[in-house]
Amino acid sequence: MLAGVIARVLIDGPSELVFDYAVPPGLDVRPGCRVRVPLRRKTASGTVLACVDAAQADFALRAIESLADPEPLITPVLLETGRWMAGYYGCGIETVVRSLLPEAVRTEDHSAKSRRVAVLTDTPAPDVLERLRKRAPRQHAILTLLMNAADRRLAVSDLGDGSAAALKAVAKLSLVRIEQEDVRRDPDSDGSAEVLESTPLALTPAQQAALEVILAQSREATPRPVLLLGVTGSGKTEVYLQAARQVIDQGKTVLVLVPEISLTPQTVQRFKARFAAMQDQVAVLHSHLSQGERFDEWHRIRKGGARIVIGARSAVFAPLPSLGLILVDEEHENSYKQETVPRYHGRDVAVLRASFEKCAIVLGSATPSLESWHNAQSGKYLLARLDERADGRAMPMVRVTDMRMEARKHKGGPAVLSDKLRTALEQRLERGEQSILFLNRRGFARSLQCPSCGHVCQCPHCSVALTYHRTDERLVCHVCGHQAVVPRRCPECRDPSILLQGYGTQKVEEILGKVLPQARVARIDADAMRRKHALRDALNAFQANKIDILVGTQMIAKGLHFPNVTLVGILHADLGLHVPDFRAGERTFQLITQVAGRAGRGDLSGEVIVQTFTPHSPSIQYARRHDFDGFAAQEMEFRRQFHFPPYGHCAVLTARSAHERRAEFTLSTLRLRIAEQLPADVLLGEVLPSPLVKAHGQFRFQITLRAASARPLTRHVQAVLAKTPLPEDVTVVFDMDALNFT
């Protein structure tokens, strides 16, 4: 075979097959292109990973049949990012490509939506109109509608039923032309309120200094990431908006990442209000979009129709041209970590992409992750601080209530609402102010337990108790979703006095209805927000003061701005404090600080009441004083002593199977092989049951590995996995930079 060009094509599918194909003359094939290739006796689709010069060969390669799209769908930078992810996180390139190209784009099952449009090409003469009015009233009606239309065009469907023949007749008169036009499936088109234009606010000296740091990096040839540490209410969003404006004015694009889909509507609204003249150039990407909406938004971004993209974790792969700025809001959030393969961290991939794109990146938070804080302290990142609220008001007063003392007051255990919190709620109702109650547990009761024999209703597929949901009258597993009927008697001893234990957001909502019957209460959690726009509607109602008390889980913990909220109650603040995770203290501190920041963001001062059984915990005490530096100092010393991140990398190797002994034996075998020729700086843990030992019907065992450098550890573990045949019913998962240890 003569020298030419060979394309290395990744075939779609789970097998991660990469084959070489010859590029036919005249076919413009480049890395990132989608192509159709012959595979055995069929035609398959694939993605071109690379194009290389072909040397002399003893055999002829099969040729690419055609291009699925004339332009590469994956940019060179995103391809480079994907290769880095595959090596760092120890996953196949096929799984990475699935993240780079959403299913709606990768498959050919979806396409642009179009409609037929009637366009008035010439204004009919008055005598023609009069003749049609008398002889062909339907043709006259069509022409009248088009003449009154703003741009002299209307969708054929808007011309009324039975107008096909009349439309054909006026088309023959050369007065109307029928066209096909693409219709954008707008994610924000149904029922969203009109956005009012906002103007830039005057910046405080600290905000101005932070903005100058960001803009200076946007002009650098090799910009450094900027960590924006700003207390809640300090005006980080205003800094984001003004930095984005400067970048947009330079002809570049902006990517905004938010940790939760729940934060997307408010963020979109703020950006559309500030960039009112270019609202149609703000695109949204998150997992709640329909396949059609995702298809339209993705291609609109790729073709340059959107200059600002706002989305959750997966939006980091948005194909924005001329990227000038990446904003990562609430960069500390765990939801930036993908829990399925590829197990990437959205914040870290954003930093990597910024370095490849040579663009500025801002990581913003009131409670930065200790990894980012360490990078700022070591000089890898630049640090900009906003230590005061933008309006000059003091941070809300935080009061800690010891629920052990409450238990002594109330026979039968502590109340859900302490006396102090109940009184504070009553005062806010009298003054017409709003309150937020936060509890990081949905449902009505944590479990159903028999007082006689101690039996607890558990999930048959997971090692957790079933949670009682009163609305559905069901016991539900919050891990696998299993549902069961609520028993009237104990399944073991038949005692009818089976009791509900603990409480969730449903029970708090019911208690408020009894204690404060005059209050308008709404609940925001995964159960109450199942409808597509339920969350947006609830937040809009709260913004309009149609709700007095908002009860919710983490969905209301951050990023929300309600000026009339003067009280925040945190129920059971230590729920996540006593779990087997070295980040438990950090997460508790972050959660309390973030939730507390929802209070006192307007003209009225705020108050926060924290209910806890461990009031002397450093996480709670430092959060009470809004002291991030103090918390970080003591927590970093603990991490340094035990070689935990940020002083190294932590990975978890998990084996799971429906057979408990088989999962344990497989992982024990892998540990022995990993221990052979182990890199010198790697600390290898023992095989232990996962804290949640059974989930989705599978038993799980894990090994924790720590190392100063990630890549040697990944390479070593992947080499062992590649050489070790695994039983068919055992799945092994490697998670670099793990955040979830359950």
Half-sphere exposure of 302 (CA within 13 A, CB side): 20
What's the pLDDT score for residue 61? 87
**Which string of b and e fits 394-409 if b means at least 16 CB within 10 Å?**
ebbebebbbbeebeee
Domain 397-444+503-639 has CATH 3.30.70.980: no
pLDDT tens readout for residues 318-341: 999 999 999 999 999 999 999 999
Tokens of 561: 């701005």
| DSSP three-state, residue 409 | helix
Greatest mean pLDDT among 105-119, 449-463, 695-709 lies in: 695-709
Tell me if 464 sits within 8 A of 458, measured CB to CB.
yes
Tell me if 255 sits within 8 A of 315, measured CB to CB.
yes
Count CB-CB contacts under 10 A for residue 680: 7
Greatest mean pLDDT among 43-57, 232-246, 262-276 lies in: 232-246
What's the pLDDT score for residue 404? 86
CATH number of the 205-386 domain: 3.40.50.300
Tell me if 276 sits within 8 A of 309, measured CB to CB.
no
What's the pLDDT score for residue 168? 80
What's the pLDDT score for residue 277? 84
Q: Which of 511, 510, 448 is nearest to 485 (CA)?
A: 448
Tell me if 447 sits within 8 A of 465, measured CB to CB.
yes
What's the pLDDT score for residue 109? 63
What average pLDDT does this structure show over 639-652?
A: 94
Place of tokens 């640090």: 383
Tell me if 97 sits within 8 A of 16, measured CB to CB.
no
What's the pLDDT score for residue 243? 97
Q: Which residues contact 199 (CB under 8 A, 6 or more apart)?
A: none
Tokens of 679: 């890199």
Side by side, which strands form the sheet with 474-476? 467-469, 474-476, 483-485
Backbone angles phi, psi at 310, to 5 degrees: -120, 130
Q: Which residues contact 501 (CB under 8 A, 6 or more apart)?
A: 445, 446, 447, 448, 449, 456
What's the pLDDT score for residue 57? 56
pLDDT tens readout for residues 146-159: 888 877 888 877 77
Q: Which residues contact 139 (CB under 8 A, 6 or more apart)?
A: 132, 166, 169, 170
Pairwise pLDDT comparison (730 vs 560), residue with the higher score: 730
At 77, the pLDDT band (50, 70, 90 cuts) reads very high
Tokens of 509: 């909502």
What average pLDDT does this structure show over 176-189?
A: 73
What's the pLDDT score for residue 171? 78
Quick one: fold of 5-106?
GIY-YIG endonuclease (3.40.1440)
Q: Which of 714, 168, 695, 174 is nearest to 480 (CA)?
A: 695
Place of tokens 């497989």: 666
Q: Evaluate the omega torsion of the peptide bond into residue 645 and state whether it is cis, within 30 degrees of 0.
A: no
CA distance linking residue 545 with residue 541, whole number of Å: 6
* Residue count (the chain): 742
Tell me if 27 sits within 8 A of 64, measured CB to CB.
yes
What's the pLDDT score for residue 499? 79
pTM, to two decimals: 0.87
Tell me if 120 sits within 8 A of 146, measured CB to CB.
yes
Pairwise pLDDT comparison (56 vs 525), residue with the higher score: 525
DSSP type of residue 24: P
pLDDT tens readout for residues 548-584: 999 988 877 776 778 899 999 999 888 888 888 899 9
Tell me if 359 sits within 8 A of 202, measured CB to CB.
no
DSSP 110-176: ---EEEEEEEE-SPPPHHHHHHHHHH-HHHHHHHHHHHHSTTSEEEGGGG-TT-HHHHHHHHHTTSE
Residue 102 burial class via C-beta count within 10 angstroms: exposed 0-12, middle 13-18, buried 19 and up: buried
CA distance linking residue 90 with residue 81, whole number of Å: 14
Question: Is pLDDT above 90 for 345?
Answer: yes
What average pLDDT does this structure show over 602-626?
A: 92
Question: How high is the mean pLDDT of the chain?
Answer: 88
Pairwise pLDDT comparison (231 vs 54), residue with the higher score: 231
Q: Which of 349, 318, 227 is nearest to 737 (CA)?
A: 349
CA distance linking residue 373 with residue 331, whole number of Å: 11
**Which string of b and e fits 50-76 if b means at least 16 CB within 10 Å?**
beeebeeeeeebeebeebeeeebbbbe
- 3-state SS string for 333-352: CHHHECCCCCCCEHHHHHHH
Q: What's the maximum distance between 2 C-alpha atoms anywhere in the chain?
A: 95
Question: Is pLDDT above 60 for 2?
Answer: no
Domain parsing of the chain, residue ranges = 5-106, 113-183, 205-386, 397-444+503-639, 649-736
Over pLDDT 90: what percentage of the chain?
56
What average pLDDT does this structure show over 268-288?
A: 87
Pairwise pLDDT comparison (590 vs 135), residue with the higher score: 590
Tokens of 542: 């709260």
pLDDT tens readout for residues 188-234: 655 455 677 889 999 999 999 999 999 999 999 999 999 999 998 89
Same fold, 205-386 and 397-444+503-639: yes
Would you report the helix, strand and coil content of the chain in percent, each value rounded to 5?
Answer: 35, 25, 40
Question: Is pLDDT above 90 for 707?
Answer: yes
DSSP type of residue 708: S
What's the pLDDT score for residue 1? 37
Phi-psi region of 683 (alpha: psi -120 to 50; beta: other; left: phi over 0): beta
CA distance linking residue 127 with residue 502, whole number of Å: 81
What average pLDDT does this structure show over 269-286?
A: 88
DSSP type of residue 50: E
What's the pLDDT score for residue 577? 87
DSSP type of residue 642: T
End-to-end alpha carbon distance in the chain: 55
pLDDT tens readout for residues 498-532: 778 788 899 999 999 999 999 999 998 878 777 76
CATH number of the 649-736 domain: 3.30.70.600
Over pLDDT 70: what percentage of the chain?
95
Tell me if 20 sits within 8 A of 107, measured CB to CB.
no
Backbone angles phi, psi at 691, to 5 degrees: -50, -40
Q: Identify the H or E element spanning 698.
A: strand 698-707
Count CB-CB contacts under 10 A for residue 208: 13
